[in-house]
Amino acid sequence: MPKTPAKPQISTRKRPKQARSEVLVNCILEAAIQVLEKEGAARFTTARVAERAGVSVGSIYQYFPNKASILFRLQSDEWKSTGNLLSRILDDTSLSHEVRLRQVVHSFVLSECEEARMRGALADAAPLYRDSPEAVNAKKENEQAFHRFMSTALPELSTQARKIKTDILTRTLSTVGKDFSMEARTKKEIRQFSDAMSDMLCRYLEL
């Protein structure tokens, strides 16, 4: 029976400890984003990243063992950035639940549109890290933020009923937002779409 091919290593070799090393890693990641947006995941290589960053391939391998580890780092950073943004909004008790939901919708849709090309390319490489602990934890933390929000927004519902509404909310936001971002959008289009989507979700939750 043939063996299942081993997945490539996706963790970084080491973390930069000095300011100069951190600058180099950031330069590599910025170059990787540019290559990814221009070439897509299929033509993404460490050689192209090195050329764009103006460094040797050996310099990249000090921190990233292969292209998969670069893609994974970009995806991890995106998860953290989006997750932290949405959590801050959802947990801001100084705002009403309706205002928080509207801000979450606007922020998420805008983020999807701004980074659509990179996210599309990262999605092509997703099988490399879809089941990684980082991916599982990112999804779990995002779900927990929405559950915290829903537990205070709809306290009268049973746990199961609230869970279903939360699932519908997050699936709708993710699926519709990503579909909308597949085409280039103006700021006015993004605002109008986000307003309409917010109206729909607020009515659904009766906020």
Domain 73-205 belongs to what architecture?
Answer: Orthogonal Bundle (1.10)
Q: Do residues 122 and 75 make contact, with C-beta atoms less than 8 angstroms apart?
A: yes
Question: pLDDT class for 19, splitting at 50, 70, 90?
Answer: low
Quote the DSSP letter at residue 76.
H
The predicted-structure confidence for 86-113, as pLDDT tens digits, reads as follows 999 999 999 999 999 999 999 999 988 8
Domain boundaries of the chain, sorted by first residue = 73-205
d(CA 57, CA 173): 39
Distance from C-alpha of 80 to C-alpha of 135, rounded to nearest angstrom: 10
Give pLDDT tens digits for 31-74: 998 998 888 777 889 999 999 999 999 999 999 988 888 888 88
Q: Which CA distances in Å does 63 have to 12, 25, 121, 148? A: 6, 8, 22, 37
pTM of the model: 0.76
Distance CA 45, CA 32 (A): 9
